[in-house]
Amino acid sequence: MTKLIVFTDLHMVPEGSTIIGLDPYHRLRAGIEHVNRYHADADRVIFTGDLTHRADTQSYERLRDLLSLLTPPAAITIGNHDYRDRFLETFTQVTPDEDGFVQQAIDFDDCRVVLLDTLFAPPYDYPMSHAGYLCEKRLAWLDRTLASANGLPVLLFMHHPPHKTGFSGMDAIRLGNEDAFYDLVLKHGNVRHIFAGHVHRTIGGSHRGIPFSIFKSPVHQQPMPFDAPNASLAVDEPAAYGIVVVTEDGLQVHHEDYEIAKRESEIA
């Protein structure tokens, strides 16, 4: 049974900086220590983008050094707060695809894990660069990757949700070509689950018949009002990561609020 840990929206900042008074480095380090303690047997720890807040080199270097503390191996893709070339300059162990995008396929005995690069840039101009997009080259790569899965169920990991989630501000900067994405995915029929971040909330459901899960951030979260048009709003709620376990009959998706999790107490 493949076991995956999922972090998204790390928003790393330079040393001494914070986001709404929160320290992304401290919160992520606590999450890594929690994974090493309780999930050292994980097959991968997957990071689905917004690795940094301002895409500066110092933040990427801080993140690289922090991820070196992980016991399980990591797999990484990028989001709208990232800068593709700058990321690759720092994370030299990450090999992009043949077109230079930060995406890959990883095969396990019971599934194929696919990481997609949904960054709509360059140019890195607000607001369009904050929406997601899969260009023709990336769609062609996904087409080939799904076609070559050899009967394995496919789990897709991406930063931008490929459909609306109910938060008006975030929905305005979701994946921009969702119809092309879903038409391709449904053509192959082997995608069992889609995982995303970007919204900074715990969301689950299905879209066009495919289950999906969206995870919270280790740092700040999206306020709950659905009709807020501002996609930059943030609140302090417990840090979290996801746990995905492939079973004989499907898969399970868990959410670990590791910052407040208690394992020592028992209820009589």
DSSP structure string for 225-245: -TT---TT--B-----EEEEE
Give the containing element (helix H, strand E) for 76: strand 74-77
Per-residue pLDDT of the chain (268 residues), as tens digits, is: 999 999 999 999 999 999 999 999 999 999 999 999 999 999 999 999 999 999 999 999 999 999 999 999 999 999 999 999 999 999 999 999 999 999 999 999 999 999 999 999 888 877 777 999 999 999 999 999 999 999 999 999 999 999 999 999 999 999 999 999 999 999 999 999 999 999 999 999 999 999 999 999 999 998 887 887 777 788 899 999 999 999 999 999 999 999 888 776 555 5
CA distance 14 to 3: 32
User: What element of type H or E holds 24?
Assistant: helix 24-38
pLDDT of residue 24: 97
Distances (CA, A) of 35 to 67, 77, 157, 215: 12, 19, 19, 16
**Cis peptide, bond prior to residue 123, ω within 30 of zero:** yes
CA terminus-to-terminus distance, the chain: 32
Spell out the domain ranges in the chain.
3-256
pLDDT at 39: 98
Read off φ and ψ for residue 128, nearest 5 degrees: -60, -35
Overall CATH class of domain 3-256: alpha beta
Cβ atoms of residues 163 and 174 within 8 Å: yes
Q: Which amino acid is at 229?
A: P
Tokens of 233: 């709003």
What global pTM score does this model have? 0.95
Q: What is the per-residue pLDDT for 21?
A: 94
